[in-house]
Every structure is written in structure tokens, then in C-alpha cells.
Amino acid sequence: MPKSPPPSPANDHAFREHQPGEGQPKIEVSRGNGDELHQNVASGSKSADAAFLTDNFGHPISDNQNSLRAGERGPTLLEDFVLREKIFHFDHERIPERIVHARGSGAHGVFECTKAIPGLTKASILQKEGTTCPVFVRFSTVAGGASSVDTPRDVRGFAVKLYTDSGNWDLVGNNIPVFFIQDAMKFPDLVHSVKMEADRGYPQAASAHDTFWDFIGLMPEAMHMIMWAMSDRTIPRSLRMIEGFGVHTFRFVNEKGEGKFVKFHWKPVLGIQSTTWDEAVKIAGADPDFHRRDLFEAIDAGDFPAWDLGVQVFDEAFAAKQPYDVLDATKLIPEEDVPVEIVGRITLNRNVDNFFAETEQVAFLPSNIIPGIDFSNDPLLQGRLFSYLDTQKSRLGTTNFHQIPINAPKCPFHNFQRDGMMQTLVPTGRANYEPNSLAEAGENGGPRASADKGFKSFAANDERNDPAQKLRIRAALFADHFSQARMFYLSQTENEQAHIASALVFELSKVTLDHVRARVVGQLRNIDEDLAKRVAAGLAIDLPTKEPAARAPVNLKPSDALSIQKNADDTMEGRKVAILFAEGSDKAVIDKLKGDIESAGGTVFLVAPKVGGIKVKGGTLKADGQLAGSPSVLFDAVASILTEDQAEALSKQGSAVQWFMDAYGHCKTIAHDEATQLLLDKAGVEKDGGVVAIDKFESVGTRRHWAREARVRDLA
Ligand code: HDE
């Protein structure tokens, strides 16, 4: 065997043209050395020296309006290579959308280690406080297509790519810590059931239909996830206000080769916040891009969203004592049992330059891990390890998808993989195999494996497992489907429990098959009898027979960490407040309120019946949005500063009355002056702690007044 030299700096240049990590390559068209032809086609710049249109092979174009014709009124000529190329390229612009998580929004940012944990892991980015690396995060809904709306009731994907100096680490998680199923074998069935029904092609981006609930009723392991999915977690106010979870149990491995289990968490610095269901439905119509716009605008304005990376670390001895199996992705580890330790922070500070090149082409692989992190034997995770590689080949069409800038690591990479469709690198030299002894002849022999630096799999990934047996079987504790579902339900506030019951009633009301409805309610009886009764009453059906439980549930201690409302901080930070004004409104009052909100970290959006300059008391004011196009569902709280005449005029307009009716119905703060009272009366707004005078706004801020909810809607 030839000697294997460690990779030398020379080896780093084996791929001549690729400079991973050198920022975003702009699509530039250059004719080599002619500066006058060098232009950024992406910029759309109007400056005379920058704008010079060429085709994809650099031929300058003289006319971008007219195709080449035989005579003024004649047919188009086949020789028109300019038209041919333009249309050819256009015809092939789309790539297959993701099978799940097709609708997504992404952004760049940075990870910073805030607490070194070398005792737990040798992961290079967690060795020293202050270590940073670039990240790309893509948030997504699961069920809808790429062009569906942002606010259906759905789980949100939370996929993070960390470009570390020891390779890319992709933590491809969700905003819910558990999953519907325990084994990868059931994933295609789950996804088929939730997507549009096979014959009719609807509903889009919705779980409220027969096939989903049919599958769920027959899969009791999904019941814990169903509690989360029917909670307010699946109707987030903003992507900036969702939690993230790695879901599966992973491994940390330290320098000495010692392993511990770990669960990963992302805790939003802005706190968790959700909308109400009625609000989410209305937002879908008012602004289908609500979450995408919110993320883009916040980053654009310099309000960078951030999440703390938390870890729950535990050992095999702890795992062996729990009433659930830590390899079962339908179970979580209560934070009260294993506290979440914060070790880092991601901050998203740069929007993408090009949605397709970055957000659409980013390819996440749960198999992308770095030395210091390893997999567990979670059967769902194990299935994901090969699924994602397949999917990338199918979407991006080539095994060379790692060369697309958003996917390329930002550390050097070198190996003997060669060729393939769309090879954009130019490997040099003869060494495309190993072992070789070309170095002995003075040639570049290429890289070699490094026993020292290379990734080593943790040897005993499950001490309770006997690898000598081949079995199609699940471990015994996987059969407990209800204990944690009950724990989740009982950990919620009364109002949150009512939201869960109402969501179930809504979803099951859309189900047309009686036996499917009955079976789901029969499953709910295993979680909580009261919940099942509320849902049955909401559906006006008799309480069905309890479905059999494979393993009797046990009572676990409720966990406050599972509730949104119990942990809600009242903060203006990151929240958006609308101020309604009209002709004659007092500018000084508007300016004062705006200043107060902004200095508390919120943003203000001025709404008026007309958007151009409106004459107000003390000057002219331009609105950010017109009343009919800026319904109150788009804001966290509203304020209104009007004259009596304007209030009178607006009280005859549906959009104005609805504005207050919805703000009230969605339990938001309404701050108003005296003139607005007329409109409030028309909208049926009753005085309560959240309906306040303008100068009291600060004390109630963007809080949701949940106590009001029972007065405005019937919850199950
Ligand atoms: Fe995924 N999943 N998944 N998934 N998943 C995909 O990969 C799959 C699962 C998650 O923003 C696909 O690139 C299987 C759990 C996110 O680009 C696909 C199984 C969790 C994203 C795929 C699971 C996720 C995906 C579709 C069961 C939470 C979006 C396109 C074994 C921990 C990533 C793609 C992005 C995407 C397969 C289960 C999260 C089809 C087979 C559990 C956030 O490969």
C-alpha cells in the first residue's frame, strides 16, 4: 500500500475553479478582458456603462423587443438565436418543487458559540466562546405547494445549515419537538394522506379533510403530534417567533470518544407568538406572503431575528429509566427533567439576493453532520439519512448539487468523486483514484483519509440493542401513544385547551366520513375524556367508543414549558402596530405614539382611507397602506386617531368597521381617541382592559387579551 500523506495545501487546489465560501457569486457576464462588457445581469442597473445585454454565450444583443421576421408582416425566422435561447431558457425555468416543505422562506446569518462545551462534544464550533460560522436557514410549511399561502394550520420546517470549518452541519428540524410517526416506513403514507386528495386535487395546504384524519385515526402514535398540531403552535404570528427543534435524539461525542445523547432546541429571542385561527384564515386572503414578507422586511430594516441554540444532554442511564423511549420521535424530554442549556445563538442578518438560486436550490441533508455530533438509532432519523440525498438528485438533477453556491461547504473539500451532469469544477491532474503513488513521481496524488481529523462514528449507538438480530419490530415503549399527548394537553392554559378542542372540531367538521370522525374522537378518549367530550359536543355526535390503547397511558407531570401563554413575555420588540388616521387627525398625537412604539422596539404602520399625502392637523401625512388593503389582522395591535367627522364617515364603511371588529375579536389591544368611539360602538367593541385611551397604550402594548375571547366566540 502506498503511504497516505495528509491533505496538503496543494491538494486544496485540486478543484481549480471553485472557491467555496467566497460570498455570493454574482451572475456576471464577461467577455474576458473587456471591462466595458462586464455587467451584472442580476442588478438591472440603468447606468449606461453597466447595462449591456448579451445572450448566454456573451453575444451582444441589439433588440430585446422584436423577433427576427421575414418581412414586416412575415413569419419568424428559425435563425433567430436570440429569441430561441431566451424562450428555451424560460421553458426550463422550473425545477420540481419539494415533495413536502415546498413553500419556504430563507435567510443568511451567523452562528456564534456563547458557551463552550468541549467536555460534551468535539464539534469545532462549540469549542470556544465567540467562535462563529455562517448559516443559512429555511423555514417552511409542510403540506402546501410552493405557491400556497403562508398561514395555513401546519407544522413549520426549521432547517439550519451551518457552514462550519469541519464541513456543513444541517439541523433539519421543525417548530414542534415531536413527529407524527415513529418509523420512516410510514412517511410516504402520512404525506399522501395530508396532501391534496389523489382524485380531486384538493384541498391545498390543509389537513382538514377525510384522508388525513382517516390515516390519523388509524395511527394512534400520531396523537401526541396531533395535540401540538391542533394547538396555536401551527398558526404562528411570525417565523421570527417560532421555536425550532432537532426532534430526534442525536449524540454528542467528545475528544476522548465519550458519547452522550442530545436533543437540539432553537429558542426565539422574540418569544413564541401565534395568531388566532380566525385571524390566520383572514391573513391568508389579505396577504398570502405574510410570513415571507415579515421575515424579509424585518431583516431589511435591521431588526435581525435571533434564536438561542439549546441542548438537552443526557446519558444512557437516564434514558433507560424513562417511561418513554428516547429513540421514539413521537416523544419529547420534558425541560423540567433535563433543562435546556444555551450554548449558542443564530442571528439572521442578510436576505437572499436571489430566491431561486438560494432558497429554492438549498439542499438540506440530515446526514450532514460534523465530527463531535452523531446520529442515534431513531428509526425515523435513520430513514431520513438516505431520503434527502435521493430527493436532491431528483430536484436538482445532478449528483453535483453540492457545487451550487448555497450548498457548497465554506471549508475546502477534496476527494476523488468525478464528472457527472453539470460538473462545474475543473479537477486537475491524473489522480482520480486511490490508492495511488503518483506523489512518488512528483505529481499531485490527491487527498487521503485522516484517521486523526476524520469523522468517526460512535461505536455503540445503543447499549440496549442486540445488533445480531434482524427484526421488523418496534421496541416495547414505542407502544405508549398517549401519555405524552395527555401531558401536553394538561400543560396548557384553559384558553389554549379550548383552542385545541376548537381546532379539532373545525378539522373534523370538514371530514365527511362519519366513521373517520368517530374513530379520531375515540382516540382522543385515551388522551383526556373531557377533551373527547368537548369535541364530540362540538361536532354534535355521541361520544364514540374508546379506541383500544396498545399500552395503557401513564400520568406524567404537566410541563409549563409546553405552553405558549404561560411563557409569553409582553414585549413591543419585533411587533407591528397600525395607527389609523384620516383627514384632520392630529399629527402631534400620531407622532408621539409612533415615537413611543418605535423606541420600545416596535414598528408602526400608518393606515388611512387614502395613501397619498393627506392633510392632517399640523401638516401632511402619507399612509403606509390603504385601509381596505391593510386589515387589522396584519398587525399585533391597533390605534386610531380621528376627527368626529371622519369617524362618522368611516362608520359607514365596512372595511373600517371590520378593522375594529377583527382587532377586538382577535383579542388585540385597541387604543383610541374619543372620536373613534362611534366606530367602536358600530363594531360592537366593548370596554375591557385591552380597549384603552391612546395615552394608555404603552401599559398594554401588543398583549393579547385572552380573557376577552369567551365573549367574542364560542370555543369548544
Ligand atoms: Fe423531511 N423531507 N422527511 N422531515 N423535512 C424533506 O427533503 C423525509 C421529517 C423536514 O427547507 C424532503 O429536500 C422523510 C422529520 C424539513 O429544504 C424529503 C422523513 C422532520 C424539510 C423529506 C421525513 C423533517 C424536509 C423534501 C421520514 C423534522 C425542508 C424536500 C423518515 C425533524 C427542508 C427535501 C428545506 C424536507 C423526507 C421526516 C423536516 C422528501 C423520508 C421528522 C424542515 O426528502
pLDDT of residue 644: 97
- For residue 380, give the ligand 1 atom closest to its CA: 31
Q: How far, in Å, from the CA of 571 to the mean position of ligand 1?
A: 33
Mean pLDDT of 10-34: 37
| Closest residue by CA, ligand 1 atom 27 | 184
Judge contact between 401 and 389, C-beta under 8 A: no
Cβ of residue 247 lying under 6 Å from some atom of ligand 1? yes
Q: How far apart are CA 175 and CA 574, in angstroms?
A: 19
User: Which residue has the least CA distance to atom 6 on ligand 1?
Assistant: 100
What percent of the chain is predicted at pLDDT more than 90? 90
Q: How confident is the model at residue 570 (pLDDT cuts 50, 70, 90)?
A: confident
Q: Residue 461: what pLDDT?
A: 65
Residue 152 contacts residue 144 (beta carbons within 8 Å): yes
Where does CATH 2.40.180.10 sit in the chain? 104-175+235-403
pLDDT band of residue 51 (cuts 50, 70, 90) is confident
Checking if the pLDDT of 5 tops 80, the result is: no
CA of 388, closest atom in ligand 1:
44
The domain over range 12-91 is classified in CATH as 3.40.50.10800: no
Q: Which ligand 1 atom is at minimum distance from the Cα of 247? A: 32
Range(s) for CATH 3.40.50.880 in the chain?
A: 573-712
Answer yes or no: 354 catalytic.
no
Taking a C-beta distance cutoff of 8 angstroms, is the pair 154, 101 a contact? no
Residue 220 three-state SS: helix
Distances (CA, A) of 265 to 80, 174, 440: 56, 10, 50
User: How far apart (Å, rounded) are the C-alpha atoms in residues 285 and 540?
Assistant: 30
Nearest by Cα to 346 from 279, 464, 404, 266: 266
Return the DSSP state at 354.
-
**344-361 b/e with 16+ CB inside 10 Å = b?**
bbbbbebbbeeeebbbbb
For the record, the C-alpha cell of 327 comes out as 429513540
pLDDT band at 70; cut points 50, 70, 90 = very high
CB 136 within 8 A of CB 337: no
CATH 4.10.91.20 residue ranges for the chain: 12-91
CA distances from 324 to 262, 330, 419, 631 (A): 16, 10, 47, 46
pLDDT for the residue 49 = 54
| Second-level CATH architecture of 104-175+235-403 | Beta Barrel (2.40)
SS3 category, 218: helix
Cell numbers given for 466: 442486540
| Amino acid at the residue 663 | A
Active-site annotation holder among 174, 175, 368, 407 = 174
Element (H, E) at 334: none
Question: In the prediction, which pLDDT does 50 show?
Answer: 61
pTM greater than 0.95 (yes/no): no
To 10 degrees, the CA torsion angle through 625, 631, 633, 638?
70
174 is catalytic: yes
Residue type, 537: A
- Quote the strand ranges of 5-45, DSSP E: 28-29, 39-40
User: Could you read off the pLDDT of 423-442 as tens digits, one per residue?
Assistant: 999 999 999 999 999 999 99
> 30-39, 71-80, 108-117: which range is least confident on average?
30-39
pLDDT in tens, 441-469: 999 999 999 999 999 999 876 778 888 89
Q: What is the pLDDT of residue 617?
A: 97
Instruction: Check if 173 has its Cβ closer than 6 Å to any atom of ligand 1.
Output: yes
Instruction: State the average pLDDT for the chain.
Output: 93
Please choose, from the candidates 576, 564, 594, the residue with its C-alpha nearest in 3D space to the C-alpha of residue 632: 576
- pLDDT above 70 coverage of the chain, percent: 93
With residue 161 as reference, give the H or E element that holds it: strand 156-164
Distance CA 587, CA 622 (A): 11
Nearest CA to ligand 1 atom 23: 384
Predicted confidence (pLDDT) per residue in 260-295, tens digit: 999 999 999 999 999 999 999 999 999 999 999 999
For the stretch 211-230, pLDDT in tens is 999 999 999 999 999 999 99
First to last CA, the chain: 73
Residue pair 358/161 in contact (Cβ under 8 Å)? The answer is no
pLDDT at 572: 94
Query: Does the pLDDT at position 28 exceed 60?
Result: no
Name the DSSP letter for residue 69: B
What is the average pLDDT across 477-497?
Answer: 98
Q: Tell me the CA–centroid distance for residue 295 and ligand 1, in Å.
A: 22
Q: Please name every residue paired with 576 in a beta bridge, in sequence order, or none if there are none.
A: 603
pLDDT at 157: 98
CATH of 573-712, one of 3.20.20.70, 3.40.50.880, 3.30.1330.10, 1.10.1130.10: 3.40.50.880
Q: Is the CB of 159 under 6 A from ligand 1?
A: yes
In sign, the C-alpha dihedral spanning 705, 706, 707, 713 is positive
Query: Tell me, what's the pLDDT at 466?
Result: 87
Gap between the Cα atoms of 235 and 410, Å rounded: 35
Give SS3 for 641. strand
Note the pLDDT of residue 93: 96
Q: Does residue 43 surpass a pLDDT of 60?
A: no
